[in-house]
Amino acid sequence: MRVREVLLTPGPVTIGAEVQRALGGPVRASYGEDWAERYQNLERRLAEIFRTGGDVVLLFGPGSAALEACLGSALGPNEEILVAGAGLFAERLATIATALRLQVRAVATEPLAPVRPEEVELALRRYPACRALAVVYHETSIGLLNPVREICDVARQRGLITIVDAVSALGGIPLEVDAWGLDLCVGVANKCLGGPVGIAPVAVSGRAWEAIGDGRPKSAGWYLNLATWRRFGSEWGSWHPHPTTMPSNVLDALETAVGELLAEGMDAHQARLAAAAARVRRGLRELGFELVAPDEHASPVTTAVWARPGMDVNHYLTWLRERRGLRVGGGIGQWSGRLFRVGHMGRAAEPGVVQAYLEATAEYLKESQKRDRD
């Protein structure tokens, strides 16, 4: 019988028992006064996690859908946007913006290094027509954090709307939407929040709503348009505060995950995930691995690791999955086969899971050395 996998990936995550129970509950109607009350309460609780007094929209879809909604709702065809970051998901932001017919300008930065605020300043001098800046907070493709607060401060001083991909950061890494002046900030349920796949919460500032409703043509359609979601929240909020049918089970499970996180406390939750990351980083170094990101820029919820010389990464990942029921992420894009990525979210942050992973990796290396000798 196949062993049920535990996910040690940068998302999705293996959810806890209570969250799984809520996800498997009966399907409820996603309308009515009782539904609207629970839905709006979940929005408020997520606002606590975003650290915002502004609005939170619970978009039904993946993080990429929410990013598309933010870009297309705030900007129109041929308007310029500055995209900051080196990594696959910074490239994804640029790809989405291009598909929306925006003019993408890039910040010149070093490979495998965080964006520096002075690089953003130089780019904005070169591209003074930019109306917005988009940046990835946690670049999971290389296990790296960008200094979002400082980057967005530079952009706001020039009057730009700031759009932050916090998809793999929300709940697991310090994030202060209001204090840092973030206008549009995207998260998902299925990473650091420890919830299921299907909901992408978006924090929207007053400045963002002004840009969305200023009358300029926008690139967004109907569903991936935050103006649509705001209109339904306002006009139908008492019984149907969203434009389409919502996955009630997914929202029930997310409600459970958010309740568990807030009961634990944000600081304690983040410290627990960071402790798992520190243990994995230390353990892998002891086994002779080199880490991609230096400690001062490393993510506390995803560790990217260079393959050892001669190591077959795909064989290692398959061995972990088939022999130990542990799924670790591989490298993506240009890093495929060259590195692997260990997530510290959901059940992957449990000390027993961390220990099982490190012991399995040590065993794999011993077997590999034996095969090489034979």
Domain boundary residue among 261, 283, 315? 261
Q: Is the pLDDT of residue 282 over 50?
A: yes
Work out the number of other CB atoms within 10 angstroms of the CB of residue 246. Answer: 22
Tens digits of residue pLDDT in 59-87: 999 999 999 999 999 999 999 999 998 88
C-beta separation of 90 from 139 below 8 A: yes
The pTM of the full predicted model, rounded to 2 decimals, is: 0.96
Residue 248 is assigned to a structural domain of this protein: yes
Q: Residue 179, Cα to own-chain centre: how many angstroms? A: 20
In this model, does residue 370 exceed pLDDT 80? Answer: no
CATH label of the domain that carries residue 286 = 3.90.1150.10
Q: Tell me if 102 is assigned to some domain.
A: yes
C-alpha of 294 from chain center:
20
Query: What local confidence, expressed as pLDDT, does residue 6 receive?
Result: 96
60 and 101 co-located in one domain: yes
Neighbours of 233 (CB within 10 A): 20
Q: What percent of the chain has pLDDT over 90?
A: 95
3 pLDDT more than 70:
no
Q: Which of 178, 197, 181 is nearest to 189 (CA)?
A: 197
Average confidence (pLDDT) over 323-333:
96
Q: What is the pLDDT of residue 111?
A: 84
Chain mean pLDDT for the chain: 96
Bridge-partner residues for 259, per DSSP?
none
Residue 240 has pLDDT above 60, yes or no: yes
Last residue of a domain, one of 236, 261, 286: 261
Which pair of structure tokens corresponds to residue 146? Answer: 């960008």
Q: What is the pLDDT of residue 7?
A: 97
Position 188 scores a pLDDT of: 98
Sign of the dihedral through C-alpha 28, 29, 30, 34: negative
Select from 196, 231, 261 the last residue of a domain.
261
Which structural domain, as residue segments, surrounds residue 272? 6-12+265-373
- Does 59 reside within a domain? yes
Residue 79 lies in a domain: yes
Do residue 68 and residue 140 come from a single domain?
Answer: yes
Are 239 and 33 in contact by the 8 Å Cβ rule? The answer is yes
The secondary element (H helix, E strand) that includes residue 119 is helix 117-126
Residues 289 and 252 in one domain: no
pLDDT at 1 over 70: no
Look at the chain and report how many structural domains it folds into: 2
For residues 195 and 322, state if they share a domain: no
Question: Which pLDDT band holds residue 374 (cuts at 50, 70, 90)?
Answer: low
Instruction: Tell me: do 103 and 202 sit in the same domain.
Output: yes
Instruction: Please tell me whether residues 166 and 282 are part of one structural domain.
Output: no
Same domain flag for 120 and 251: yes
CA 189/CA 192 separation, integer angstroms: 8
Residue 351 placed within a domain: yes
Do residues 165 and 128 both lie within one domain? yes
Same domain, 103 and 216: yes
Residue 253 lies in a domain: yes
In a domain, 1, yes or no: no
Q: Are residues 74 and 176 in the same domain?
A: yes
For residue 97, report the phi and psi dihedrals to the nearest 5 degrees: -60, -40
Looking at the fold, whether 293 and 244 belong to one and the same domain comes out as no
Identity at 134, one-letter amino acid code: A
Q: Which amino acid is at 113?
A: A
User: Is pLDDT above 80 for 258?
Assistant: yes
Residue 150 lies in a domain: yes
Tokens (6 digits) for 51: 């650290």
- What CATH number is given to the structural domain containing 73? 3.40.640.10
Q: Assess whether 212 and 355 both reside in one domain.
A: no
